[in-house]
Structures are given as structure tokens and as C-alpha cells.
């Protein structure tokens, strides 16, 4: 006998879903970092079209100013030093996340820690913007890496919580109507009583 939909048990255990979510985020982060560093290496290897495609894709999220970027193989990274720090910090924190925190923990830290992590980046940007001091690529990278690493502890709990949710329908079966609950014999007797009888009208009898 089949169980109703609200008693269905998924074939994939709840304990495996957070692990799969973490793997997807970790692999995605590593892939992005590979593209950031791989863009100049691709051009150096003699594949300028693929390298330019990567640069073009990242141009929508970064200004890519050469003076504010790291270089490798005589070509700049696909993003600036600050963005490189953000991606690198996020990637490293994501990879080591299971060693620091359980994948079943879905509570986020207090928001003040996120503001504290963003403060060095904001100060570094403000001092350079107002000409108080000339920030360097390493100061930009450090500020971005700190914020990117701390942001993982606010992003991952939400994704892990999403992976633990049940997406199948939990609605109760439709309640039978009065007509559906009425026995067949009673239905036929009711219809027979309501139907006109030929004995009440002799002229209609054959």
C-alpha cells in the first residue's frame, strides 16, 4: 500500500544535502579563481581569444585598471587587486568551512562582525579616494580578502538551510464532498425518489 504524499521520505538523506551544497559552492569558487588567474596564463600560452573572453566576462563586475591589478606572465589578472582579494578570501574560507563549522549549523554570526570585516576595506578605499594616503595593491587585496572570508559565514548558512528544506508537496489529500461520501445505494435511492414516476402519469405509460 502506497504512503500519502505528506509521508514521502526523500531518497537522498538530509545529512548528505549540506555536503553537496558545500561541494557545489567550493567548486564554483575554485573555478572563478582559476579563471581570474588563468586569463593571463591563457594569453601567454597562445590562446588570446579565450583569454579575452574571460577578461570581457569579468569586465562587468570589475574596472580592471592595470595600475590596481596584480600581474602574472606579463599580463594582469582578470580583476583588480581588491576583487582578487574578495574572491580569494571567499574561496579559501569556503574550502576550509567544514573544518571550522558544522555543515548542519544554519545560524549566522551577529551582523556586527560583518561590519567589522568591511571596515578595513572601507577605510583603505576612503583614504585613497580622498588622497590622504596612497593605498597599495596589497592593502586592497588584504581588505578584500578579509571581507570575502567573513562573508562566507553569512552566505553558507543560508545555502545550507536551503538545502535542508523539503520541496515536495505536503498538502493534505482533498476532503471528499458530501456526494462522494454518500453510499452508492443511498445515492441511487435518492435519485429514484427525485425522478418522476410513470405511475403518477398514466398517459405516459407504454
Q: For residues 69 and 80, is the Cβ–Cβ distance under 8 A?
A: yes
Query: Residue 72: beta bridge partners?
Result: 75
Contacts of 25 (CB under 8 A, 6+ apart): 94, 155, 156, 159
Q: For residues 45 and 73, is the Cβ–Cβ distance under 8 A?
A: no
What pLDDT was estimated at residue 131?
84
Three-class SS of 157-178: HHHHHHHHCCCCCCCCCCCCCH
Task: Indicate the helix (H) or strand (E) that contains 64.
Answer: none
Task: Indicate the helix (H) or strand (E) that contains 22.
Answer: helix 16-44
Cα Rg, the chain, nearest whole Å? 32
What pLDDT was estimated at residue 186?
55
Pairing mode, strands 71-72 and 75-76: antiparallel
What pLDDT was estimated at residue 108?
93
What pLDDT was estimated at residue 60?
97
Global pTM?
0.74
Give the largest Cα separation in the chain, rounded. 112
Q: How far apart are CA 206 and CA 197, in angstroms?
A: 13
Which three-class secondary structure state does DSSP give residue 76? strand
Q: How far apart are CA 94 and CA 86, in angstroms?
A: 12
Residue entry with cell 398517459? 203
Which three-class secondary structure state does DSSP give residue 184? helix
Render each residue's pLDDT in the chain as its tens digit; 206 residues: 455 555 544 444 566 899 999 999 999 999 999 999 999 999 999 999 999 999 999 999 999 999 999 999 999 999 999 999 999 999 999 999 999 999 999 999 999 999 999 999 999 999 988 888 889 999 999 999 999 999 999 999 999 999 988 665 445 555 555 545 555 555 555 555 555 555 555 555 44
Amino acid at each position: 500500500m502506497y504512503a500519502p504524499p505528506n509521508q514521502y521520505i526523500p531518497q537522498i538523506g538530509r545529512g548528505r544535502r549540506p555536503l553537496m551544497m558545500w561541494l557545489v559552492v567550493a567548486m564554483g569558487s575554485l573555478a572563478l579563481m582559476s579563471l581570474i588567474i588563468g586569463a593571463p596564463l591563457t594569453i601567454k600560452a597562445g590562446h588570446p581569444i579565450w583569454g579575452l573572453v574571460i577578461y570581457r566576462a569579468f569586465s562587468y563586475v570589475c574596472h580592471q585598471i592595470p595600475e590596481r591589478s596584480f600581474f602574472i606572465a606579463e599580463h594582469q589578472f582578470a580583476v583588480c587587486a581588491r576583487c582578487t582579494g574578495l574572491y580569494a578570501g571567499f574561496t579559501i574560507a569556503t574550502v576550509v568551512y567544514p573544518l571550522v563549522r558544522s555543515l548542519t549549523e544554519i545560524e549566522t554570526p551577529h551582523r556586527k562582525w560583518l561590519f567589522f570585516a568591511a571596515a578595513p576595506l572601507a577605510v583603505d578605499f576612503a583614504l585613497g579616494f580622498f588622497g590622504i594616503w596612497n593605498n597599495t595593491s596589497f592593502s586592497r587585496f588584504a581588505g578584500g580578502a578579509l571581507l570575502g572570508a567573513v562573508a562566507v559565514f553569512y552566505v553558507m548558512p543560508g545555502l545550507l538551510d536551503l538545502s535542508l528544506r523539503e520541496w515536495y508537496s505536503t498538502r493534505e489529500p482533498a476532503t471528499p464532498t458530501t456526494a462522494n461520501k454518500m453510499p452508492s445505494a443511498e445515492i441511487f435511492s435518492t435519485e429514484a425518489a427525485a425522478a418522476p414516476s410513470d405511475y403518477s402519469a398514466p398517459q405516459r405509460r407504454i
